[in-house]
Structure 1
Amino acid sequence: MKTQSNDIRRIRRSQYEIFIEEECQNETFVEITISPSNYSRKIILNWVTVFIINYLLQSKLLLKFDVLNEYRKWVRIGVFVLSVFLIKSPKVEQITVIKDYGIQLSHWNGYIIFPYKMNKHLTQMREFISRDKIVDVIINEGFYQWYQVIFYLCIITRNEKKLKIMFPGHIKMKLEDEKLIYQLCQRYLYLKKDKLKHDCLH
C-alpha cells in the first residue's frame, strides 16, 4: 500500500525498468519490481498480432470450408477468444523483502485483454522464503549461453543444493542495479542486532 511515508524510485534501462518502493518510516519492507522497458509497446504489438491471426485464420477458414459459413459468427468469436488467451502480456517479476520475516518472490504476465492490476491479482505466482531458511543474498557469477560471463542475484537457502535466482527473467541485469538490489536486501532483511551478527560471519 502506497503512503506518504513510502519512497518510490524508478530506474530506466534500455531493456527493463526497475520500480523500488520503500517503507521509510519504520523500514519494514522494500518492494522491487522489474518489467520490460517497452511494456506498453509490447501490449500493443500483442494486440496487433491477435488481429492479424484473427484476420488470416478466419478469412482462410471461412473461404476454404463453405460448411463453416453457417457458423461464421461462432468461428470468429472462438478464434478471437482463443488467440486473446494464448498471447500473454509481458512478464513482470517482483521481490518483497519484509524485515525480520523473509523474502517473497513473485511474477505474473496474465492476458492482454485484462488491465495490469487485474492480471497481477489473477495470475500472480508467489513463493515466500522465511528468514530462518535464508543463509544469505548474494551476487553470483555464472556463464550465459556457454561463453558470456554474467552476474545474477540469488538466495542461498538452508538444506537446498540449488541457488534460488531472484529475477530469472532478467538474468543479464546491469551489475550496478544488482548491487543496489543487494544492498536493499541486506538492509531490510535483518534487524540491526542480527545485521551485526550477519556481518561478522562474512
Structure 2
Amino acid sequence: MTQTTFTNTTSERRKKYTIEIEREINDNYVKIQITPNGLRKKQFINCIIVIIFNSWIMLSSHTFFERFASYTIAVKSLMFLTSCMTLKNPTIETLTIFKNYGIQTSDVSGYSVLPDTLNNMICSPRTIFVPRDRIVDVIINEGFVRECQVIFYLAAIVRGQDKMKLLFSRNRPRLVDQKTIYNLARKCLYLKREPLLVE
C-alpha cells in the first residue's frame, strides 16, 4: 500500500483569508483551500443574534401573534427554524488540480447554529469536476465593478460553455495569490512543460 506524501504544505494568513496549499511529489496533485479569517468569531456572533432574536420572539406577546392565537407555537417554531437557517457560515472554497485529468472546485458554508459534525453531515460541499479535455485555459482576468473599480479574478475557460468558470468567487484572493494558483494550475494541467507566464 502506497501512502501519499506531500513535499510542500504551506499556509499563509492574509487580511481577509488564509490560503493553504498542499502539493504532492511532482505536483501530480495540488489542493488550494481559502478559509475566511475570523470564521469562529462570525459563527459565535451569528449564534448570539439567533439567541437574542428568538428570545424576543418566544417571550413577546406581540400583536402579530394574536392573529394566530391557535397556532402561536407553530408560528414561533417556524420563525425559530427560519432564523436558524438564515445565518450561515462564511464560505470555505477549495480548488483541487489533478495532473492531466482536470480540476475540481468545492465550497461549503453550513449553518452557524450547528456544530461542525452536523454541518458536515447536512451541508455537504458543492463539488464540480471539469475534465482536462474540456478546459481551454486557466486565466487571470480583470473586471469592472461599481464606481469603475478594477478587480482581478481567476477563471477557467471551459469548452462548450458561454460563461467562464470562476475560481474562488466568494473569497476573491489577492493578485499575488492568484498568480501562484495560476502557475500551479498551468504546471499541473498540461503535460508539456510551459514557461510560467506570471511572476
The interval holding the TM-score normalised by the smaller chain is 0.7 to 0.9
Cα RMSD after superposing both structures? 2.9
Aligned length: 193
Are the counterparts in 1 of residues 5 and 24 from structure 2 also a CA contact under 8 Å?
no
1:82 matched to 2:82? The reply is yes
How far 1:150 sits from its partner (Å)? 1.2
Q: Is the 8 A contact 2:36 2:171 kept in 1?
A: no
Structure 1 residues 129 and 112, CA gap change in structure 2 (3 angstroms)? same
Q: Following superposition of structure 1 onto structure 2, how do residues 55-70 of structure 1 map, counting pairs within 5 Å?
A: 55-61=55-61
Output one character per residue of 1:32-86: Cα deviation in whole Å (capped at 9) or x when no partner.
1112111111111111111111112122247975798998877765544332222
Gaps of at least 5 residues in structure 2 are: none
Q: Deviations over 1:140-177 (max 9, x none)?
A: 11112241111110001112232111111123x31101
Alignment of 1:82-101 (within 5 A): 82-101=82-101
Q: 119-128 vs 145-154, which deviates more?
A: 119-128
- Whether the 8 Å contact between 2:65 and 2:72 is mirrored in structure 1 is no
Identity of aligned residues (%): 36
Asked whether 1:124 is paired with 2:125, we answer yes
Alignment gaps of 5+ in structure 1: none
- Aligned mates of 2:112, 2:125 — CA distance in 1: 14
TM-score calculated relative to the size of structure 1: 0.80
Deviations 1:116-159 (A, max 9, x none): 46534533111111000001111111112241111110001112
Pick one of 192, 195, 200 that aligns with 2:192.
Answer: 195
Aligned-pair CA distance for 1:4:
4.6
DSSP-derived class of the 1:162 partner: coil
Using a 3 Å threshold, how does the CA distance of structure 1 residues 124 and 167 change in structure 2: closer, same or farther?
same
Distance 2:171 2:147 in 1: 17
TM-score, structure 2 as length reference: 0.81
2-side partners of 1:28 and 1:120: how far apart?
Answer: 27
